[in-house]
Amino acid sequence: MKLTQRKIYSILKQHGYKLTPQRRAVVQVVTSSSDHLTPNDIYEKICDIYPGTGLVTIYRTLEILAELGLICEVHSGGNCRSYTMGSQQHHHHLICSGCGIVVDFTSHYLNSLEKNLSEESGFRIDGHLLEFIGLCRKCQAVP
Amino acid sequence: MKLTQRKIYSILKQHGYKLTPQRRAVVQVVTSSSDHLTPNDIYEKICDIYPGTGLVTIYRTLEILAELGLICEVHSGGNCRSYTMGSQQHHHHLICSGCGIVVDFTSHYLNSLEKNLSEESGFRIDGHLLEFIGLCRKCQAVP
DNA sequence: GTAGGTGCAAATCGTTTGCAGTACA
DNA sequence: TGTACTGCAAACGATTTGCACCTAC
């Protein structure tokens, strides 16, 4: 299930958030890229769409989108966070530390692991974060 | 293979690094804790061992140790990095969003998942990050 | 003796917050 | 109209850098 811009707009509205041009711009940028984007990447791209938008607004919008599960946060090793489109289907990331490319994958392993853990620990598990870091085929070739 | 302090010292020497008391102190702190430590955690612990050591030196020492693969960097979601002894015994965290308690666990699921992923994607996988977020038994009881 | 290591302070980077003005519903 | 949203600037915390002094080898 892929989230269209329209769908995101309506979800935002449903939750009582106003639809400002800045928010539209952020949504547009995020949905139109399959890469993971740092707030700064988004900021730069937004200069073309809706100039004058502040970086602060982008941070605040990303926070909302992440909270609603419309995008997901990626911790790609470095010191800055980045975001990528979230299909509502739970997925995980395989990140290349060389070029930064992100490969999504899903795994049924996690479901059973989560169930076991929950039973053993008594936790009510709400979510998880799984990321693999490595080098993609291309970057392995380049020294 | 478990890394002793002595072994780490000799590896440092082999690579042309000098053995200063500050570096010894960092190694001592890191090897004597099985937890994940932020540079600041280490800084505080070092006050007892070798007071006067600067936070800067800790950063620089950690960088060296990480580069030599003697410790490994952990990105526990938040905005600050932390380090842990690099044993090949990978473990993961189950974190309560209520009280913040952290439960460690290991999983053999991950090994097979990593292997599959590596084969399918062509990535050389160097590490991973797995965290579950939820509510522990106690926090579920308290509204 | 010398190159490498240290500590301080200041710079830097990513992110957050306070606040006054603005615009969506 | 009123509340939520925006943008600026300044605050903030983690990390890095410049530089003069120090110390392990």
Inter-chain residue contact B134 with A112, CB threshold 8 Å: no
Please determine whether the domains at B1-87 and B89-143 fall in the same fold group of CATH. Answer: no
**Cα gap A81→A63, rounded to integer Å:** 12
Taking the CA of residue B8 and the C1' sugar atom of nucleotide D22, their distance in angstroms comes to 24
Q: Where are the domains of chain B?
A: 1-87, 89-143
CATH architecture of the domain formed by B1-87: Orthogonal Bundle (1.10)
Q: Are B105 and A101 a contacting pair, CB within 8 Å? A: no
Q: Which positions on chain C have an atom < 7 Å from some protein CB? A: 4-9, 13-18, 23-25
**Does residue A90 sit at the B interface (CB-CB below 8 Å)?**
no
User: Rounded to two decimals, what is the model's pTM?
Assistant: 0.73
For A81-103, what is each residue's pLDDT tens digit? 777 766 555 667 777 766 667 77
Q: Could you identify the residue written with the tokens 């449903």?
A: A14
Is the pLDDT at A80 greater than 60? The verdict is no
Residues of chain B found within 8 Å of residue A112, distances taken between Cβ atoms: 109
Question: Which pLDDT score is estimated for B95?
Answer: 67
Question: Which pLDDT score is estimated for B68?
Answer: 87
Is the pLDDT at B118 greater than 50? The verdict is yes
Is the pLDDT at A76 greater than 60? The verdict is no
**Does residue B124 sit at the A interface (CB-CB below 8 Å)?**
yes
Q: How confident is the model at residue B88 (pLDDT cuts 50, 70, 90)?
A: very low
Instruction: Please identify residues in chain B, positions 22-81, with a C-beta within 7 angstroms of any atom of strand C.
Output: 22-23, 52-54, 56-57, 60-61, 79
Nearest to A133 among B77, B126, B140 (CB): B126
CATH homologous superfamily of A89-143 equals Ferric-uptake regulator, C-terminal dimerisarion domain (3.30.1490.190)
